[in-house]
Chains A and B, each alone.
Chain A
Amino acid sequence: MTDPGGAVGSGGTGGPALELDGLVKEFRGRRVVHGLSLTVPRGSLFGLVGPNGAGKTTTLSMATGLLRPTAGVARVLGLDVWADPAAAKAVMGVAPDGMRLFEQLSGRELLHYVGGLRRMPHEVTAARAEELLGVLDLRTDARTVVADYSAGMVKKIGLAAALIHAPRLLVLDEPFEAVDPVSSETVRTILRRYVATGGTVVMSSHVMELVEGLCDRVAVVADGRVLADDTVAALTAGGSLHRRFLELVGAREGVGDGLGWLGTAPEP
């Protein structure tokens, strides 16, 4: 990796923030990710879209050191994730989807916990935790255990936990799922500001409108392969990402004339 002077994450310069090279994942001999390669430039807000079961979560897990790939290389800011996991994990923040948090801790305790694990000075952790809780509208529930949080609140506290050590790269799996419109706008603002200061975001989603409005680059993944990878403007080419996505993944014929019996149950 050419990164003279060690100016890691100094803005849009230097090597890519995330580089996936020929990632393969097999579960019991069944291949779900087929030699996937992807390059995320620094300072971009990168969207990973694809239908259900496309391998988005699997790919992001392999990129963040949570799932060992069968083959292939993942590099974060030039650091090989699987050769030196700890070094790579130190520079990125991760918020996986559907994985539980330590639910017996309150929101504030969870943030302090992550800070402690990352060996941050306690004063820094505490100050950042308060700020994050405030911005994400979680302060009134800071002393409630995460077990009693709603799905959207869990998403927000997960995002806060990923941000607390000021990482260079943020990897978010479905960050907007179950988040209300107001909080969603807050999260978008946070992400835009984060990118403006030189950070890089990789997020997966299956809400096309959201990706189109927020991301500058997007990759379409289906069946464990990259179908397209370009800037949003180039990919949509004047149309909508929604239409382009359906074209790429090969939208099946609609339901046609079937299901004609829907709504024929007798009135009570």
Chain B
Amino acid sequence: MTLLVVRLRLAMWRSAMTRSALHLTSSVLGGLGALAVVAVLGPAIALLVLQPERVVALTVPLFASLTLFWTVLALAAAGVDNVLDPTRFAVLPVRAWPLSRSLLAASFTGIPAVMLVVLALAQTVAWTRGPGTVLAALLAAVLGCLTAVLGSRAATSVLAAVMGGRTGRLLGAVVVSLVTVLPLGLNLVVSRGGLVTDLASFDARGAAVAASWTPVGWAWALPFDVATGRWGPAAAHLVLAVLLVAGLWWVWATRLARVLTSPLTTSGGQRIGRGRLLPVLLGRSPVGTVAARRVRAWYRDSRLVSIALRTAVLPVFFVLQAVVTDLGVFAGIGVVSLGVFAGLTLMNDLAFDGEAWWLHVSTGLRGRDDRLGRVVASVVVFGPVVALTFGVSAVLGLVDPVVPWLTVTVTAFLASLALATLVGAVLPGTAPRVGGNPFAASSGGAAQGCALALLSFVGPAVLVLPVLVPAVLTRGTAGEWVVLVVGVLYGLVLLAGAVVLGGRWLEHRAPEMLGRLAHAQL
């Protein structure tokens, strides 16, 4: 059965690639990216073999954090790889244990898993100091890779169970959004320590011992323990690592058994508030109606909640970093990038509506009303966040001088909104499926995704430049106020142009857009 499932997965992969050139391109690009990472990291790790023990000990914290990130990233990417969704096996007479074995084997055929295995083998090379350490390193590689893969499986399956209902999904979105910005938090801690520049005095043994007592480090500590002759900890680590693998497997198989007997996720009829405030605030015109729905979606739709949280949390780290490092420029960059990100969230707004957008087509809604309604919603949702972040940073004295930073922030927000409004009317982008996992890739790595990503990076920079230069030149003079006014007007003109042009395009190409939206949710 294992062979059958692996073959099934490869067959599905192949048919997905032959069916769409976009899928093929993204797979090839992903594969090349993975190859590049392995080509750089692999030899670097393997060459540690030439270094003394205190340096090779680096593999323990390195692979422990790799295992941790693997699990966290799997949570973030769950649903991307749902080719072998276990619910699809529910009608077949299979048992959970054999199925989990087969699915485990199949998950090692993916590009990320192959990368992990290659790097783990490089780790084995690094520990080639004697038969004992090689054996221990091999054992570590096997147990460590199993921990990573089974850990991600167990975590996603447990999370999926929690997120069956709408409230659970919202809760899960909040938790995982915060977890996925964890690396940034680590970065904050590390930035206090400074960089290691001298290998001669570098000693990773302390870090290795510390990492070896975390669940993700148990397996990877084995070769280090053997090499340093710490037999007691080696035995303890081995037992703990084996127990962890067994435990994770048990959790996952138990969830599988549950899924196989109740494949249909149930969600109770949740009621929602009356939402009387929004129509009063935004009016009952078509623009206000569209805006009110989008605002509601930003807090009701778990997919958007996770995006909003990540967008809002990201700059907080920049501001914190500015406080920690005493470099005000970080706060400024944080606030400006918040403006850009907040504006760009409109880019795949249509993809989030998906086919439901037919209602706009069928009611004959004017394109510019559709565009403007979304802009209003984004301003209502993100305007206060941008203003608050800027205000706090300004009060803390982090953004200095204030007026030029304000000019750039406001222009960046308006210009990004304009860019997203126009581009979003032409290229709908992609979004995770409704009611599905909110952490599925929000941009398919296809050609359209590449174009959108490029536009997202280059577009705001190009659009802000005409205001950025005078803002910098006039700082500290009375001219900075003039530039502020001009910058705001410039942003508004861009926005008005985007609403009119985007609206016209959308109106003319509505049926074609509807056809694309049918495939916009992954």
B293 touches A102 (CB 8 A): yes
B358 touches A96 (CB 8 A): yes
Bound CA–CA A63/B363 (angstroms): 14
Q: Does A116 sit at the interface, judged by CB under 8 A?
A: yes
Stretch of B104-112, B138-146, B294-302, B308-316 with 4 or more beta carbons under 8 angstroms from chain A:
B294-302
- A and B contact pairs by CB, cutoff 8 A, 18 listed: A64-B362, A86-B364, A89-B362, A89-B363, A89-B364, A100-B355, A101-B356, A102-B356, A104-B296, A104-B301, A106-B271, A117-B290, A117-B363, A143-B271, A144-B270, A145-B270, A148-B166, A161-B359
A122 touches B284 (CB 8 A): yes
A104 touches B288 (CB 8 A): no
Bound CA–CA A161/B356 (angstroms): 13
Q: State the Cβ distance, A176 to closest chain B Cβ, in Å.
A: 20
Bound CA–CA A157/B435 (angstroms): 19
Bound CA–CA A119/B289 (angstroms): 10
Q: State the Cβ distance, A171 to closest chain B Cβ, in Å.
A: 9
A148 touches B515 (CB 8 A): no
Q: Which 10 residue pairs are nearest across A and B when measured between Cβ atoms?
A: A116-B289, A89-B364, A86-B364, A117-B363, A68-B511, A104-B300, A100-B356, A144-B269, A143-B271, A94-B362
Bound CA–CA A114/B360 (angstroms): 8
B364 touches A90 (CB 8 A): yes
Name B354's contact: one of A100, A144, A148 (CB within 8 Å): A100
Beyond the given A89-B364, A117-B289, A141-B269, please list 11 additional residue pairs across the A-B interface where CB-CB is below 8 A: A65-B361, A65-B510, A100-B355, A102-B359, A112-B279, A113-B359, A116-B286, A116-B288, A117-B359, A144-B272, A147-B166
Task: Given the known inter-chain contacts A67-B514, A102-B353, A103-B434, please indicate yes or no for A117 contacting B360, CB distance below 8 A.
Answer: yes
A99 touches B289 (CB 8 A): no
Q: Does A21 sit at the interface, judged by CB under 8 A?
A: no
Contacts of B85 in A (CB 8 A): none
Q: Does A212 sit at the interface, judged by CB under 8 A?
A: no
Identify which of residues 149-190 in chain B touch chain A, using a CB-to-CB cut-off of 8 Å: 166
B358 touches A116 (CB 8 A): no
Q: State the Cβ distance, A42 to closest chain B Cβ, in Å.
A: 21
A117 touches B286 (CB 8 A): yes
B363 touches A145 (CB 8 A): no
B274 touches A117 (CB 8 A): no
Q: State the Cβ distance, B509 to closest chain A Cβ, in Å.
A: 9
Q: Does B52 sit at the interface, judged by CB under 8 A?
A: no
B362 touches A65 (CB 8 A): yes
Identify which of residues 17-67 in chain A touch chain B, using a CB-to-CB cut-off of 8 Å: 64-67
Identify which of residues 244-258 in chain B touch chain A, using a CB-to-CB cut-off of 8 Å: none
Q: State the Cβ distance, A67 to closest chain B Cβ, in Å.
A: 5
Q: Does A109 sit at the interface, judged by CB under 8 A?
A: yes
Q: Does B267 sit at the interface, judged by CB under 8 A?
A: yes
Interface of B toward A, CB cutoff 8 Å? 166, 267-272, 274-275, 279, 284-286, 288-290, 293, 296-297, 300-301, 353-356, 358-366, 434-435, 510-512, 514-515
Q: State the Cβ distance, B505 to closest chain A Cβ, in Å.
A: 15
Name B359's contact: one of A101, A112, A119 (CB within 8 Å): A101
Name A66's contact: one of B270, B288, B354, B514 (CB within 8 Å): B514
Bound CA–CA A87/B514 (angstroms): 19
B-contact bits for A84-100, CB 8 A (1 contact / 0 none): 01110110001010011
B435 touches A103 (CB 8 A): yes
Q: Does A118 sit at the interface, judged by CB under 8 A?
A: yes
Q: State the Cβ distance, B114 to closest chain A Cβ, in Å.
A: 35
Contacts of B434 in A (CB 8 A): 100, 103, 147
Name A105's contact: one of B286, B293, B365 (CB within 8 Å): B293
Name B271's contact: one of A66, A67, A122, A144 (CB within 8 Å): A144
Contacts of A103 in B (CB 8 A): 356, 434-435
Interface of A toward B, CB cutoff 8 Å? 64-68, 85-87, 89-90, 94, 96, 99-106, 109, 112-114, 116-119, 122, 141, 143-145, 147-148, 161
Contacts of B365 in A (CB 8 A): 117
Name B363's contact: one of A99, A104, A118, A148 (CB within 8 Å): A118
Q: State the Cβ distance, A212 to closest chain B Cβ, in Å.
A: 29
B512 touches A68 (CB 8 A): yes
Bound CA–CA A117/B363 (angstroms): 7
Q: State the Cβ distance, A36 to closest chain B Cβ, in Å.
A: 17
Chain A residue nearest to B289 (CB atoms) is A116
Bound CA–CA A67/B360 (angstroms): 14
A119 touches B269 (CB 8 A): no
B435 touches A147 (CB 8 A): yes
Chain A residue nearest to B521 (CB atoms) is A100
Contacts of A89 in B (CB 8 A): 361-364
A148 touches B267 (CB 8 A): yes
Contacts of A113 in B (CB 8 A): 289, 293, 359
- Name the residue in A65, A102, A106, A112 with the highest tally of chain B Cβ atoms < 10 Å from its Cβ: A102
Q: State the Cβ distance, A15 to closest chain B Cβ, in Å.
A: 21
Contacts of B363 in A (CB 8 A): 89, 114, 117-118
Q: State the Cβ distance, A26 to closest chain B Cβ, in Å.
A: 13
B289 touches A143 (CB 8 A): no
Bound CA–CA A33/B335 (angstroms): 54
Bound CA–CA A6/B511 (angstroms): 29
Contacts of A148 in B (CB 8 A): 166, 267-270
B511 touches A66 (CB 8 A): yes
Contacts of B269 in A (CB 8 A): 141, 144, 148
A143 touches B274 (CB 8 A): yes
Contacts of B290 in A (CB 8 A): 117
A106 touches B272 (CB 8 A): yes
Chain B residue nearest to A86 (CB atoms) is B364
Q: State the Cβ distance, A154 to closest chain B Cβ, in Å.
A: 11
Bound CA–CA A99/B359 (angstroms): 9
Contacts of A119 in B (CB 8 A): 285-286
Chain B residue nearest to A64 (CB atoms) is B362
Name A116's contact: one of B166, B284, B511 (CB within 8 Å): B284
Contacts of A104 in B (CB 8 A): 293, 296-297, 300-301
